Amino acid sequence: MRIGFLSTYPPIECGIATYTAALNVELKAEKLETFVISPVGAQGRNVFPVFPPGSAAFAPDAFAVSIRMTPDVMHMQHEYGLYGAQKGVEAIDLLLRYRLSGVPVVTTLHTVYSELNEEERLLLKYIVQESTAVIVHEEFQKEALCREFGEHKKIHVIEHGIRVVKPIADAKKKLGLSGYKVILLSGYFRPSKGFHKIVDLFPEIAEQDPDVVLVVAGKARNIEFDDYRKQLFAQLNRSPYADRIHVLYGQFPQYTFDTILSAADVVVLPYEKGAQSGILSHSLAHLRPVVVSDLQAFRSLIERSGGGLICSDDADYPALILKLLNDRELCRTYQENIRKYVREKASWKHIARAHTEVYRSVIPAPTPKARYVYLPEPDSMAVGGQLPHAPSSSAS
């Protein structure tokens, strides 16, 4: 079958872009055809950067290009704000265009809270209604949507995929952190991440263990939350243990990011709000035990994976972090739990197969005996990205 993605895509810096790229790779391994309709800036084979961010012509432009690719199904990766103004209201326009043309649409809702505010309720009502199928990452998200809109049969739960990778060897040495126990905070600098809480509590940890350092790795997205970034850096600089705080600043390429994660002994996610976290998935990919806040999505993933500790009170962060830093047997248990969970349930291979089943459920077969055939061309046959001309049937 031919799957068309509507999504951001690398090298665009976005968690949704990373998610779609990982899913795309595994779907191709399952011998599915794919293409991507993306904002300007995306690159790759069968990737079409069609619209600038915030374009008023997003819906007609994305539809016009994608429909010429004759997709069997379109898969929209939804996040508020990706598709125009007013939290992406133009996504509903696009869904209606596909419905009128008879193209089924699977929509993945990456952010669904257990309680919806009025804006979310209004937008999601129409997105759920006009999508042929909907994917969420957690069972509580399905429950929230079903409670608000019904549509039980069309809503599917497929958890966030996790890469199968080997931690980078000598990561601490590469980053100048040899001999230290490393606590890692990583991601965009914004208030909802709660980094300031751990910076504030770090002296309590540092006083109890002289070998512990705090690594803060990330950046602000353009001037987004610039006041918070300045406040956080000021807080870092005035810490009584500023000499044991390392700030790694940048939008890290994959190898750099993997090295930073591999250098961590504990990854802390003290988020105050969120529906899921790509950082959490990447941490588990590198078998890093985590300490997370008691968000419902975090709690669900930690309970499934057995990969860390849940902090229900901010005052408990120091004790939980020190427990993971100093109890190596406990850490090894968590690492083995994570390894088993990824291998058996959460690797992108498993996630891609679950998506394939959803795609098949929305594509009507022309006859019961019909089967879709697609044979990826060998690289040696491609000429400038195109197939060589085949001889005509009348050739001698």
- Segment 106-126, tens digit of pLDDT: 999 999 988 889 999 999 999
- Model confidence over 239-286: pLDDT tens digits? 999 999 999 987 788 899 999 999 999 999 999 887 678 899 999 999
309-312's contacts with Cβ under 8 Å and 24+ in sequence apart are 311/270
Q: What is the DSSP string of 100-151?
A: HHT--EEEEES---SS--HHHHHHHHHHHHH-SEEEESSHHHHHHHHHHH--
CATH assignment of 171-346, among 3.10.20.740, 1.10.510.10, 3.40.47.10, 3.40.50.2000: 3.40.50.2000
pLDDT tens across 147-190, in order?
999 888 999 999 999 999 999 999 999 999 999 999 999 988 88
pLDDT of residue 252: 85
pLDDT in tens, 40-61: 999 999 999 998 877 778 899 9
Given a contact cutoff of 8 angstroms between Cβ atoms, the answer to whether 137 and 157 are in contact is: yes
Its sign, for the CA torsion 170, 171, 172, 175, is: positive
Where do you find CATH 3.40.50.2000 in the chain?
2-161+347-362, 171-346
> What is the distance between the alpha carbons of residues 174 and 56, in angstroms, rounded to a whole number?
46
- Within a 10 A sphere around the Cβ of 72, how many other Cβ atoms? 18
Which three-class secondary structure state does DSSP give residue 45? Answer: coil
* DSSP letters spanning 309-355: EEESSGGGHHHHHHHHHH-HHHHHHHHHHHHHHIIIIIBHHHHHHHH
**pLDDT score, position 260:** 96
Instruction: Tell me the helix, strand and coil percentages in the chain, rounded to 5.
Output: 45, 20, 35
CA 70 – CA 45 distance, rounded (Å):
17
Whole-prediction pTM: 0.87
DSSP H or E segment with residue 156: strand 155-157
Residue 102 is predicted with a pLDDT of 95
Rounded Cα–Cα distance for residues 111 and 395 (Å): 57
Superfamily of domain 2-161+347-362: Glycogen Phosphorylase B; (3.40.50.2000)
Listed range (64-73, 80-89, 173-182) with the worst mean pLDDT: 80-89
Mean pLDDT of all residues in the chain? 90
Q: Which two tokens stand for residue 272?
A: 């105050």
Joined together, the tokens standing for residue 247 give 């700030």
The CA-CA-CA angle for residues 239, 240, 242, to 5°, reads 60
Residue 8, exposed/middle/buried by CB under 10 A (0-12, 13-18, 19+)? buried
- Residues 301-328 have a mean pLDDT of 95
Q: Of how many residues is the chain composed?
A: 396
Burial class (CB in 10 A: 0-12, 13-18, 19+), 32: buried
Please choose, from the candidates 305, 302, 269, 264, the residue with its C-alpha nearest in 3D space to the C-alpha of residue 286. Answer: 264
Q: How confident is the model at residue 379 (pLDDT cuts 50, 70, 90)?
A: low
